[in-house]
Amino acid sequence: MTLAKLFAKMKLSQKDAEVIFDRDEPVGKSTDLVMPWRPLFRRRKANASPKRTSQTHSLQS
């Protein structure tokens, strides 16, 4: 391998950071969100927000 080739390989692109993603797990989609969240101290009903588990689950369309 020539030095020029070596340096060319060393020029990393930010695009390379995306090699771990694919069509099923693309950039922008979270995975592994498998735990429902239950706060220790529930808010009062008047202030209660909708159930968060389903809202934040990124694979929910």
Partner 1 sequence: MTPAEIPLKAPSAAPVATSATEVTRSDVEQVERALIDASTRVPVLMFYTSAVAWLVIGTILAAYTSFKMHMPDLFGDVAFLTWGRVRPAHMNSMIYGWASMAGIGTAIWLMARLCRTTLRRPLLLVAGAAFWNVGVLVGLGGILAGHSTGHQWLEFPPYAAIILFVAYTLVVSWAVLMFQHRREGHIYITQWYLIGAFLWFPWLYGAAQIMMWVTPLQGVMQAAMAWWYANNIMFLWLGSIALGTAYYMIPKVIGRPVYSYHLAAIGFWTYALFSSWTGMQRLVDGPFPAWMVTASIAASILTIIPVATVGLNHHMTMRGNFGLMRYSPTLRFTIFGAIAYTVFSALGILLSLRSVASYTQFTQASVAYTHLGTYAFFTMTMFGAMYYIVPRLVGREWRNAGLIKLHFWSSAYGVGLMVLMLFVGGVMQGQDLNNTALPFTESTQTILAYLRGRSLSGMLLMIAHLIFAFHFGMMLFGLGRTATVPTFLNPQQDEAAQKSL
Q: Which residues form the interface with partner 1 (CB under 8 A)?
A: 12-14, 16-37, 52-54, 56-61
* Residue whose CB is less far from partner 1, 2 or 13: 13
Q: Tokens 């990124």 — which residue?
A: 58
* Residue whose CB is less far from partner 1, 47 or 54: 54
Q: How far is the CB of 55 from partner 1 (least distance, A)?
A: 9
What is the three-state SS of 20-43? CCCCCCCCCCCCCCCCCCCCCCCC
Q: How far is the CB of 6 from partner 1 (least distance, A)?
A: 13
The set of residues, in sequence order, having a beta carbon less than 8 Å from that of 28 and lying 6+ positions away, is none
